[in-house]
Amino acid sequence: EPEVTQTPSHQVTQMGQEVILRCVPISNHLYFYWYRQILGQKVEFLVSFYNNEISEKSEIFDDQFSVERPDGSNFTLKIRSTKLEDSAMYFCASTPPRGEPLHFGNGTRLTVT
Amino acid sequence: AQRVTQPEKLLSVFKGAPVELKCNYSYSGSPELFWYVQYSRQRLQLLLRHISRESIKGFTADLNKGETSFHLKKPFAQEEDSAMYYCALSPSGTYKYIFGTGTRLKVLA
């Protein structure tokens, strides 16, 4: 069964540095998402992406965040200048049409020191 | 405001006992509701969704619009059911899914 893949599984970075989290969604899916989960807290929506543009974003997704689909397969989340509070598990997900269940990747654990 | 509430952080039951994981939602429209499960060291995966009305791994969930609930039930818990369970809402006309805080289910031998 096809899966969403995310790399790296764990990223450690220093405060103020830029990070790029990578995802390869399932190939015939059209909608892509980033979620995050701070340790001990709930899974929070960050952004959704469809047809090469952001379709919806949360208040968490401020100017330091950006997403891109640089080629036909990758979907990236960039954090421009990381803060300590960005430390979390970041999940990529995809769905065929909207409203279908999310297919999640294994997540990238981001640790900002 | 659109919200999903899972009041229990942890639920411990003995093997063979019935399980009910509570989920309440706040949404004025017709909701799309899901239960996701995360087993240890595995990814979040769909367990079931309300529109399919099916039973997966012995679990069922019924949407009660009057009580705005979508509780997850299983008549006889098994040790392999131990996992983190998340209730999620997809409001119509949006792209986002709103998750509850999750309930950790521990099934004791």
pLDDT of residue B6: 96
A5-7 and A103-104 beta bridge pairing = unpaired
Closest by Cβ to A42, choosing from B94, B96, B102: B102
pLDDT at B94 over 90: no
The pLDDT of residue B93 is 77
Question: Six-digit token pair at B31?
Answer: 């909701």
Indicate the fold that domain B3-108 takes in CATH: Immunoglobulin-like (2.60.40)
Of all residues in chain A, the percent with pLDDT exceeding 70 is 98
pLDDT tens string B46-92: 999 888 778 889 999 989 989 999 999 999 999 999 999 999 998 88
The structural domain count of chain A equals 1
Residues near B67 by beta carbon (within 8 Å), at least 6 away in sequence? B24
Question: Would you tell me which residues 51-80 of chain B have a C-beta closer than 8 angstroms to some C-beta of chain A?
Answer: none
Chain B neighbors of A50, CB-CB under 8 A: 95
Domain spans in chain B, listed from the N-terminal domain onward: 3-108
Length of chain A: 113
CB contact, 8 Å: A99 with chain B?
yes
Q: How many CB pairs under 8 A join A and B?
A: 53
Its domain, for residue A42, covers 5-112
Query: What whole-number distance in Å separates Cα of residue A51 and Cα of residue A27?
Result: 14
| The B60-61 sheet, strands edge to edge | B19-21, B72-74, B60-61
Find the CATH number of the domain harbouring A91.
Answer: 2.60.40.10
Q: Which of A33, A48, A101 sits opposite B34 (nearest CB)?
A: A101
The token duo for A62 is 């401020």
